[in-house]
């Protein structure tokens, strides 16, 4: 059995190490320098230092070689690169094998969620969406991780579920694709707010309240789109939100912390050196909330900060001064 992983960032590398313990893996990147470095070191020192790849993982810059032939394809690319990654696989006549999609957020321009991009481009392909509280660093280090695998049918993710379990990752199936996807996108927005809260020194109590109300916002938008309410109490809702808001490994939390310390969005992004999906997700969720007449004060506040309309400190005062209302 062979698994192709498209994208050699932190997640692609972590999953290559995990799948490589029980299967042959081809890890693809178009970056020739990165490929050479990983081949020589057997380690991705740029994106996931400290995780050694097993001999079963072959690293290549040839998509033809990576896809010759495979039992499954992992699309470990940012949301903005998902469509082009699928197209590249189709051009090699490899859109029959099941996909495992690891990105979270909304596609820029179309506003589509990752599963909607897959269904638009490859309507007949079997696929799964990997979500839930999971950092690449933990997966690469073989630390116990529990995730959600979302798909229209449980049989579509059987191959990936089995391989993940062999790599110390427990999976739970969920057919609520909208709920899982909105949860994965929305948590990045609230993580930006969480980072700002800590940068401003607002304390643990404020942070807990912020995260709780943030979950309420995500849930309301998701339910308006057709998601199941209980999904937001699960791994891809509360679980992923807690991890992203409370850990400094979170890119979006670190971005928010930098903004809270007075950096501009451009300065914060540059210092981060990676994609922070929460920036685009904030604007998409605000737009969806307006369409369905859902109140999302935290998300709206984040979009104003990202647009340089207000400072994090003034937003904190503004949110706290809002008139009392019913919690539920």
| pLDDT for residue 180 | 98
pLDDT band at 92 (very low <50, low <70, confident <90, very high): confident
Please give the domain boundaries of the chain with CATH numbers for all domains: 2-175 (3.40.50.720), 178-320 (1.10.1040.10)
Report d(CA 271, CA 258) in Å as an integer.
9
For residues 280, 282, 284, 286, the Cα torsion angle rounded to the nearest 10 degrees is -160
Burial of 175 (0-12, 13-18, 19+ CB in 10 A): middle
Give the model confidence (pLDDT) of 226-255 as tens digits. Answer: 999 999 999 999 999 999 999 999 999 999
- pLDDT value at position 94? 73
Measured between alpha carbons, how far is 128 from 43 in angstroms, rounded to an integer?
27
Distance CA 306, CA 38 (A): 36
pLDDT at 21: 93
- Burial (CB count <10 Å: 0-12, 13-18, 19+), residue 71: middle
* pLDDT at residue 275, rounded to an integer: 79
Please tell me the predicted confidence (pLDDT) of residue 9. 96
pLDDT at 223 over 90: yes
The distance from CA 247 to its chain's CA centroid, rounded to whole angstroms, is 15
Tell me what the pLDDT averaged over the chain comes to.
Answer: 95
Residues forming beta bridges with residue 149, ordered by sequence position? 130, 173
| Residue 16 pLDDT | 97
* Residue 93's pLDDT band (cuts 50, 70, 90): confident
The per-residue pLDDT for range 119-165, each reduced to its tens digit, is 999 999 999 999 999 999 999 999 999 999 999 999 999 999 999 99
Say yes or no to pLDDT of 274 above 90: no
What is the mean pLDDT of the segment spanning 8-21? 96
Say what the pTM is. Answer: 0.94
Active-site positions read 187
User: For residue 328, what pLDDT is reported?
Assistant: 80
- Those residues whose C-beta lies under 8 Å from the C-beta of residue 242, and which sit 6 or more positions away, are 133, 211
Instruction: Tell me which H or E stretch contains 158.
Output: helix 158-166
Cβ atoms within 10 A of the Cβ of 92, count? 13
The CA-atom distances, in angstroms, between 8 and each of 36, 42, 119, 177 are 12, 12, 24, 25
Whether residue 168 is predicted with pLDDT greater than 90 in this model: the reply is no
- Statement: residue 326 has pLDDT above 90: no
Q: Report pLDDT for 83.
A: 97
Contact status, residue 286 vs residue 299, Cβ threshold 8 Å:
yes
Report, as an integer, the average pLDDT of 257-271: 95
For the cut 90, the answer to whether the pLDDT of residue 115 exceeds it is yes
C-alpha distances in angstroms, 40 versus 4, 35, 52, 57, 275? Answer: 20, 9, 11, 13, 26
Q: How far is CA 209 from the centre of its chain?
A: 23
What is the pairing mode between strands 169-174 and 145-150?
A: parallel
E strands along the chain, which residues?
2-6, 24-28, 43-44, 48-52, 57-60, 72-75, 99-101, 127-131, 145-150, 169-174
The whole-number pLDDT of residue 306 equals 96
Q: Which of 274, 276, 178 is nearest to 224 (CA)?
A: 178
With a pLDDT cut of 90, the percent of the chain lying above it is 92
């Amino acid at each position: 059995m062979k698994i192709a992983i498209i994208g050699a960032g932190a997640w692609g590398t972590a999953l290559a190490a995990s799948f490589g313990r029980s299967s042959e893996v081809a890890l693809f990147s178009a970056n020739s320098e990165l490929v050479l470095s990983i081949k020589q070191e057997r380690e991705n020192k740029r994106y996931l230092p400290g995780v050694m790849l097993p001999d079963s993982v072959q690293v290549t810059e040839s998509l033809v070689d990576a896809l010759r032939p495979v039992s499954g394809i992992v699309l470990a690319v940012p949301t903005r690169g998902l469509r082009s990654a699928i197209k590249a696989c189709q051009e090699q006549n490899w859109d029959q094998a099941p996909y495992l999609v690891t990105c979270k957020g909304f596609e820029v321009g179309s506003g589509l969620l990752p599963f909607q991009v897959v269904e638009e481009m490859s309507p007949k392909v079997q696929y799964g969406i990997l979500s839930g509280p999971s950092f690449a660093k933990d997966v690469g280090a073989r630390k116990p991780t529990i995730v959600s695998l979302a798909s229209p049918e449980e049989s579509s993710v059987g191959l990936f579920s089995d391989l993940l379990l062999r790599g110390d990752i427990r999976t739970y199936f969920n057919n609520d694709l909208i709920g899982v996807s909105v949860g994965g996108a929305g948590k990045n927005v609230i993580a930006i707010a969480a980072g700002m809260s800590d940068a401003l020194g607002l304390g643990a109590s404020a942070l807990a309240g912020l995260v709780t109300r943030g979950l309420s916002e995500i849930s309301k938008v998701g339910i308006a789109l057709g998601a199941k309410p209980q999904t937001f109490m699960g791994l891809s809702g509360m679980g992923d939100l807690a991890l992203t808001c409370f850990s400094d490994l979170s890119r979006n939390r670190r971005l928010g912390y930098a903004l809270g310390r007075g950096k501009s969005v451009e300065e914060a992004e540059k210092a981060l050196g990676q994609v922070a999906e929460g920036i685009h997700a904030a604007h998409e969720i605000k737009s969806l909330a307006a369409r369905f007449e859902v109140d999302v004060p935290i998300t709206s506040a984040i979009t104003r900060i990202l647009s340089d309309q207000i400072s994090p400190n003034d937003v904190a005062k503004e949110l706290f001064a809002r008139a009392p209302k019913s919690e539920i």
